Amino acid sequence: MITDLLVLIWVVFGVQIAWFGFAAADLTLRGSLNEVAINYATISVLIIAAWMLALGAYGSRGYRVVGTGFQEYRLVADATIRLFGLVALVAFLFKIDFARGYILIAFPLGLLVLAASRWMWRQWLNVQRLNERFSSRVILVGSLESVSHLQQELARQPEAGYLVVAVCVPNGSEQGLLGDTNIPISVDLDSLQIAMDESAADTVIVTSSDELPPQRIRELSWSLEPGRQHLVMAPSLTDIGGPRIHTRPVSGLPLIHVETPRYEGRKLFAKRSFDVISSVGLVILLSPFLLIIAVGVRLSTPGPVLFRQERIGINGEPFHMLKFRSMVTDAEALLVGLKSKERQEGNAVMFKMKDDPRVTSIGRFLRRYSLDELPQLFNVLGGTMSLVGPRPPLEGEVSQYETHVHRRFLVKPGITGLWQVSGRSNLSWEDTVRLDLYYVENWSITGDLIILWRTAKAVVARDGAY
């Protein structure tokens, strides 16, 4: 809250000084109050106060949203945009002569700096949570299989702020430790409150279990200390994005509605429009670099500048993907020999090799910074690819797919995607599929923007790029 206040003071008064200078500047109200003049410093104070109230009213600092996911940024943006609309409406109704530049600069700049400030706090909080601080201390209750799965998923994302300290398997037969962790297993649900006190737990997460009828779960919720201890229900659904989930209480039952993913309509039109506008802008902006790279590839080794390779795209249709050539011209013929020597360093389906002998000297540089992928902007313009989506596989890889993996073809393949910004070539095949399918099920324009931002960071870090 203090940081938000400092940001808004810096932005609003900074814009006021930049627009009007240090001299006093007044605005007037026309109509019946045409003799009234108000100093802009007063207006700046009122805007800052209203902005702070809006950020608080929208719950943008709530502990349930701070630290992970998109919701925090979405709430900050909603509060800012609605306040901007309210200011515009008040100015119109009361005929207030605002300096338009003052308002049109202050709100977008304030939103940008607020988001940057929240991101910086998030990095600090993530480090703290990796060290098991500022996290909910959780006891999992359910069957052994369900608590094991949920513990693994929560451990995979510690920045979410759920630290599992114990598990309870009602009427189970096993005690000791959970798997290869140091998390103790209990089988006595009646002593759960004692276990919470001993482990300083403040949250109980109930997963699927035949041993927990509705009445028993209700009694469990009654036993928790109001305001300090919390109950969370974890259904068997996995990899579902927040915007697809809606809760609706019916006859005291908390029904969870999960929207099925849609691949048509205005969302698809918006994605295509975003792809076309962005790719045209990027081609124009990067045209000097594209020309320099093309000349470098052509002069460095014999062969064409571009490498065309058949890949599988949306609905399983083949297309030719473009890349700057980063290998020798007979690279495809040499691939069989490399595989036979078992020098594969990717995963169970995709072939990757850190020191691939087929890569040219300039190709190694291009791959290090992912510059060889830039011609795919023309694939995006042609409609066979998108800026963000699952990577287009080779036909030989598709033949190894399990049935559920074919859901990757429900959307266009992308230049970048969720798995590329989550580990790139260092990921296992199972993690690659999980991330690609999560994107297919939950994609949005906001998510695409965040993936593109994370792509820039991943390219600079160069981790997993070979």
What mean pLDDT value characterizes the chain? 84
Q: State the number of CA atoms in the 13 A half-sphere of 98 facing the CB.
A: 22
**Domain 136-236 maps to which CATH number in 3.30.56.10, 3.40.605.10, 3.40.50.720, 3.20.20.140?**
3.40.50.720
Residue type, 112: L
Placement of tokens 């473009």 in the chain: 322
Q: Say how far apart CA 386 and CA 416 lie, in whole Å.
A: 9
Q: Which residues contact 348 (CB under 8 A, 6 or more apart)?
A: 428, 429
Residue 141 dihedral angles phi and psi, to the nearest 5°: -125, 125
Q: Say how far apart CA 25 and CA 38 lie, in whole Å.
A: 8
Best CA proximity match to 411, nearest among 271, 259, 242: 271
Residue type, 190: D
Per-residue model confidence as pLDDT tens digits over 331-383: 666 565 555 554 445 455 665 666 676 788 888 888 888 899 999 999 999 99
- Ranking 30-39, 149-158, 210-219 by mean pLDDT, the lowest is 30-39
Q: Say how far apart CA 396 and CA 332 lie, in whole Å.
A: 13
Q: Which residues contact 334 (CB under 8 A, 6 or more apart)?
A: 328, 357, 358
Please say whether the beta carbons of 431 and 464 come within 8 A. no
DSSP assignment of 310-360 equals EEE-GGG-EEEEEEE--B-TTHHHHHHHHHHTT---S-SSS---TT-TTB-
Q: What is the arithmetic mean of pLDDT over 438-443? A: 87
Q: Say how far apart CA 64 and CA 77 lie, in whole Å.
A: 17
Q: Say how far apart CA 292 and CA 324 lie, in whole Å.
A: 12
Best CA proximity match to 431, nearest among 442, 441, 422: 422
Residue 22 to residues 13, 104, 107, Cα–Cα distance (Å): 10, 20, 20
Residue type, 101: G
Q: Where are the domains of the chain?
A: 2-130, 136-236, 266-461
Structure tokens at 152: 């693994």
**In a 3-state reduction of DSSP, which class is residue 29?**
strand
Q: Using 50, 70 and 90 to split pLDDT, how confident is the model at 60?
A: very high
Q: Using 50, 70 and 90 to split pLDDT, how confident is the model at 230?
A: very high
Placement of tokens 């240090």 in the chain: 22
Q: Say how far apart CA 97 and CA 27 lie, in whole Å.
A: 6
Q: Which residues contact 375 (CB under 8 A, 6 or more apart)?
A: 290, 306, 322, 323, 324
Please say whether the beta carbons of 76 and 64 come within 8 A. no
How many beta carbons lie within 10 A of that of residue 154, not counting itself? 20
Q: What pLDDT does residue 34 have?
A: 46
Per-residue model confidence as pLDDT tens digits over 84-125: 999 888 888 877 776 777 788 999 999 999 999 999 999 999
Burial (Cβ within 10 Å: 0-12, 13-18, ≥19) of residue 194 = exposed
Q: What pLDDT does residue 26 have?
A: 54
Q: What is the arithmetic mean of pLDDT over 385-407? A: 90
Q: What is the arithmetic mean of pLDDT over 150-170? A: 90
pLDDT at 396 over 70: yes
Q: pTM above the 0.85 mark?
A: no
Q: Say how far apart CA 122 and CA 126 lie, in whole Å.
A: 6
Q: State the number of CA atoms in the 13 A half-sphere of 376 facing the CB.
A: 26
